[in-house]
Amino acid sequence: MSLLLGSSSILGSGNLFLPSSLASFLSSPHPRLQGGAKSEAELGSPVQKKAGVGSPGSGRKGENRGSGGGVTREITMADDNHVLKSAQTVVDAKTFSGSEGKSIPFSKSVDSVIQADESYRMDYPEMGICILVNNKHFQPTTGMTLRSGTDADAALVFDTFRTLGYNVKPYNDLSCKQIIDVLQNIAKDDHRKRNSFACVLLSHGDDGLIYGTDGPLELKMLTSLFRGDRCKTLRGKPKLFFIQACRGTDLDSGVETDSGSEEKVCQKIPVEADFLYAYSTAPGYYSWRNSSEGSWFIQSLCVMLKQYAKKLELMQILTRVNRKVAEFSSYSNRADFHGKKQIPCIVSMLTKDFYFPL
């Protein structure tokens, strides 16, 4: 979902899904927007102000210096009778699917002996493929508006990830089926000579959804294509997803504040391991996009990647992205859309440090 504020700022739109066996116990159904047109409002007039503080960091591991910033103002129990008698692994779930009337099995905790390396290998012949999906136009039946400014994001992503060594494959205005087809084909590809995989999705969205030009699509359906049990040649390798899309309709008003050893053979790893999801905004919130310069998140991501890719570990870089985006603020003639904030949400299942190759 997207909200345009004048000609300067827009709300662009995605999420995390719990395992199906836990969903009914831990959460209510994911909200779905009923007709995106209700949140498509034009407000204010374009005004923009930028200010920045830059302090490039140095060194690699352990680096924790300040980041650059930019400010844009836009129109934008257990009693004694129930204590386990031995160290066992139990499941934090009310029940398993299909386990009604059965006791939940216990199991002893056993180390899986994962690679001793602290960092992902980056010495394969290729950095990897980066899929870039840029959806700008949408069918009227979706109720979604034109995503002005997304081309600026796409161009910057293409340049940035190509500079990082990725083979960037851009796609414009894909339907749901086309998005699935593209990612299915890439998941079936041979990635044995590649360091990693990246995917950048620019579109409208909602909680757990990304929009094709013809309607919404479950993000989990797309990312699950690259699980370790499905995409075998990317097992143990980092799979990075960057998602510029709204994740709901909430607005953030902000708050004032004071100022070497032997390698061990890997026997088994979780199928969901080695994923990283970088969402442009927190669950339930809008994501802002400038109609001419692009989104706060993508612009900040690319700036920080270019500045720190050769110096810092990926999570350190993304922390700086959070800081930079947090310094933006919307400006609108409508009080309920004025002075709004945004904070990206980084969800990591990476098992090692990620350093871009020098």
Catalytic residue list = 204, 246
SS3 349: coil
Rg over CA atoms, the chain: 22
> What's the CA dihedral at 226, 135, 293, 130 to 10 degrees?
30
User: Cα(357)–Cα(195) distance, rounded to whole angstroms?
Assistant: 10
Instruction: Kindly report the number of other CB atoms within 10 A of residue 223's CB atom.
Output: 19
- The span from the CA of 224 to the CA of 310, in Å, is 30
Cα–Cα distance between 278 and 315 in angstroms, integer? Answer: 10
- Max Cα distance, the chain (Å): 68
Q: Are 341 and 252 in contact (CB under 8 A)?
A: yes
Measure the CA–CA gap between 317 and 154, rounded to whole angstroms. Answer: 20
Number of Cβ atoms within 10 Å of the Cβ of 316: 22
